Structure 1
């Protein structure tokens, strides 16, 4: 087995790294690609705001429950044995939506697609932890986060453009996962890790690691990050831009790309940033960025100002996500790494799942006009994120 732990630089020519980055790009595709067309899908299927959120929820629900088991299977059976079927399942189910099923059929296929997508980014992070160590791991983790940011910046733009042809054309693009899976079949190496212990010992050690205070903090941060992003930005802001500013899917996609552009820029420099600041400092700093962004979106009166505030959200995202990944990877040895990252990813999926239905549900149930509710929720979440981040930074500085 080829060793990747040789230098601090990024091994761009490594087929393993290329496959890992491809898996991450596929894993992040499931929601950003179609988020700009959510308003259009309301018309296509004749459904309400709360129902349209189900298109995201149906995709994210499997990840809440399955990623810990996917991590366990990966630790026990090997990385390749798990990641390849997920790639093919993602592409087949996602591409199947392009055939134009009923709304219930779309939800069913999104659920199956979510099973495929649930473990891809988690396994990509696991493979980085397996293949790389030390400063090189931080650099590759940052590059992976940057790639995710670039992909997430491109997908809303691409989804909006493809939707101008027909509403179902963006779903055809999910078939790219079949190509990646076919290539990975021949290029993805199986990392060399120690054999896991007996199942009872394995489960006992994982449960012990999951419940330590440091790990519990990571799970909470993961949930809140994606709760705010998928609920407050990708769902609520998409509807606000359509209903208040009369934006098209393509225009919404262009604005959303601001988040991912800033994320990619910051994450690409994470290796350098992490030399000066510890992840426990970078995470609350990122939440300060979330708070400034959400408050700015609430107060902004023009699309230009909204775009600037989305850049701020992306800056926070670029600090938080690599910090979460590197912290989780370092919690345990390689024998248990996938299971721990499975728990982390489960929390991310839970945030994705709960965020959209919470924001839309509260806004439609508690307010006469959903738009009023959306703006109120942005204000409350922005204040909570900003104040919480500042308080944690102050507490750390006193220590």
Structure 2
């Protein structure tokens, strides 16, 4: 058994290493920038709502383009799609550091978002293409752990580089260019069945994407990133600056708690998945999100807030691998990239809507943005706990009823 566990993850494979690199680039765009949002308010003389747009315009392309990128990847291959995305991400991201005006920053973030829109979905798609069974679970767990470690590191990098100058963190996006060059020589094209016509393909995709079990995945994906990007990376970042007077580096350190906990939990996902079905794990993850947000609302010190963010990261570490493995297993290789594209599109939608909702409501519906952010943390924290417990109980009852029916038969 121990020998099997050692060979499950192909650490020496250049394809596997390239997949991990694509995932790490794909999640770089927001965690690296989030800790410096307060500083960007000063540099460009913008409001909280405008600062939130730095995230929103980056995530917006993914809402619409990710399913299209999945479709193109299923028809024309993975390499012809992933390589241009890596280069666009790196060039547009690095150019932001030279932008003289806020409007140009938003334009470059939009272009960078186009580059980022397909990287994560293509990484998971490649895992589904090259690996199956227990090895797929193990590889997705490692991929999730790597993402967690990267997301823990990026806020620290962003905050540290921002201590030199506000624009230095954007130079770090040039790493994507290096990954693109490496992928050009190391990423092989997986073997998948010849796809049908676009019309037949679209009909099959629509049928698969709108079955009830898939719809539940899309809703969970949306709210996962809605809460994380709106409640944590945007609202809490501004709260930590305005209420507690933290610097970008200190904010980045606190946010790394989420990612470290995520990495730890994701690395154990193959074990955790043996205890409960993936959908029940998603429900428990939302309970973790809610407890974290309620704890942040009640916490009086940055240290206590950091401790509560660990809970959010643990929930993240079970929700994301569960969504990925369940979606990848719903369909064959012909439709896999497109279905994962729909999943990722819902993630991007959550990223896009979250910052706008949290900053917009706090700024326009309350006497002070601080009061607004605190209310929203309480509201969504309570909602996540109640929703997660309700869905978990429903799924547990349904599983028990199915088991009883099988025994009776």
TM-score per shorter chain, which class? Answer: over 0.9
Give me the whole-angstrom Cα distance separating, in 1, the residues matched to 2:118 and 2:390.
34
Question: Which string of whole-angstrom CA distances, capped at 9 and with x for unpartnered residues, describes residues 253-279 of structure 1?
Answer: 000000000000000011111111110
Change in CA separation of 1:43 and 1:204 when aligned onto 2, cut-off 3 Å:
same
Tell me, yes or no, if structure 1 residue 124 matches structure 2 residue 123: yes
| Contact 1:8-1:139 at 8 Å conserved across structures | no
| Corresponding residue of 2:312 | 313
| Corresponding residue of 2:354 | 355
TM superposition shift of 1:396: 2.4
Q: For structure 2, which runs of at least 5 residues remain unmatched after alignment? A: 399-409
| Corresponding residue of 1:175 | 174
Tell me, yes or no, if structure 1 residue 85 matches structure 2 residue 69: no
Question: Which string of whole-angstrom CA distances, capped at 9 and with x for unpartnered residues, describes residues 37-56 of structure 1?
Answer: 00000000001000000100
| Contact 1:160-1:250 at 8 Å conserved across structures | yes
| Corresponding residue of 1:364 | 363
Question: Which string of whole-angstrom CA distances, capped at 9 and with x for unpartnered residues, describes residues 176-214 of structure 1?
Answer: 000000000000010011111122111110000010001
Q: Find the residue that maps to 2:386 and give its secondary structure.
A: helix
Give me the whole-angstrom Cα distance separating, in 2, the residues matched to 1:354 and 1:267.
26
Map 1:243-254; keep pairs closer than 5 Å.
Answer: 243-254=242-253
Tell me, yes or no, if structure 1 residue 226 matches structure 2 residue 225: yes
Give me the whole-angstrom Cα distance separating, in 2, the residues matched to 1:383 and 1:358.
17
| Contact 2:258-2:314 at 8 Å conserved across structures | yes
Q: Find the residue that maps to 1:272 and give its secondary structure.
A: helix
Tell me, yes or no, if structure 1 residue 58 matches structure 2 residue 71: no
TM superposition shift of 1:100: 3.0
How many positions carry a matched residue from both structures?
395
Question: Which string of whole-angstrom CA distances, capped at 9 and with x for unpartnered residues, describes residues 306-351 of structure 1?
Answer: 0010000000000000000001101110001111011111000000
Give me the whole-angstrom Cα distance separating, in 2, the residues matched to 1:54 and 1:204.
35
Give me the whole-angstrom Cα distance separating, in 1, the residues matched to 2:197 and 2:376.
48
TM superposition shift of 1:101: 2.7
| Contact 1:8-1:135 at 8 Å conserved across structures | no
TM superposition shift of 1:98: 1.2
Root-mean-square deviation (CA), in Å?
1.2
| Corresponding residue of 1:272 | 271
Give me the whole-angstrom Cα distance separating, in 1, the residues matched to 2:70 and 2:397.
38
TM superposition shift of 1:395: 1.8
Give me the whole-angstrom Cα distance separating, in 2, the residues matched to 1:32 and 1:47.
20
| Contact 1:75-1:338 at 8 Å conserved across structures | yes
| Corresponding residue of 1:282 | 281
Tell me, yes or no, if structure 1 residue 9 matches structure 2 residue 11: no
| Corresponding residue of 2:345 | 346
Question: Which string of whole-angstrom CA distances, capped at 9 and with x for unpartnered residues, describes residues 135-181 of structure 1?
Answer: 00000000000000000000000000000000000000000000000
Map 1:21-60; keep pairs closer than 5 Å.
Answer: 21-60=20-59
| Corresponding residue of 1:389 | 388
Q: Find the residue that maps to 1:53 and give its secondary structure.
A: helix
Q: Find the residue that maps to 2:272 and give its secondary structure.
A: helix
Give me the whole-angstrom Cα distance separating, in 1, the residues matched to 2:265 and 2:21.
20
Q: For structure 1, which runs of at least 5 residues remain unmatched after alignment? A: none
| Contact 2:280-2:396 at 8 Å conserved across structures | no
Give me the whole-angstrom Cα distance separating, in 2, the residues matched to 1:10 and 1:285.
27
Map 1:188-207; keep pairs closer than 5 Å.
Answer: 188-207=187-206
Question: In terms of mean alpha carbon deviation, does 387-396 or 18-27 score higher?
Answer: 387-396
TM superposition shift of 1:375: 0.1
| Corresponding residue of 2:290 | 291
Give me the whole-angstrom Cα distance separating, in 1, the residues matched to 2:206 and 2:8.
35
Question: Which string of whole-angstrom CA distances, capped at 9 and with x for unpartnered residues, describes residues 73-119 of structure 1?
Answer: 00000000000000000000000011133100000000000000000
Give me the whole-angstrom Cα distance separating, in 2, the residues matched to 1:275 and 1:6.
14
TM-score (norm 1): 0.98
TM superposition shift of 1:7: 9.0
TM superposition shift of 1:8: 6.1
TM superposition shift of 1:251: 0.2
| Contact 1:76-1:196 at 8 Å conserved across structures | yes
TM superposition shift of 1:397: 2.6
| Contact 1:7-1:136 at 8 Å conserved across structures | no
Q: Find the residue that maps to 1:167 and give its secondary structure.
A: coil
Change in CA separation of 1:240 and 1:216 when aligned onto 2, cut-off 3 Å:
same
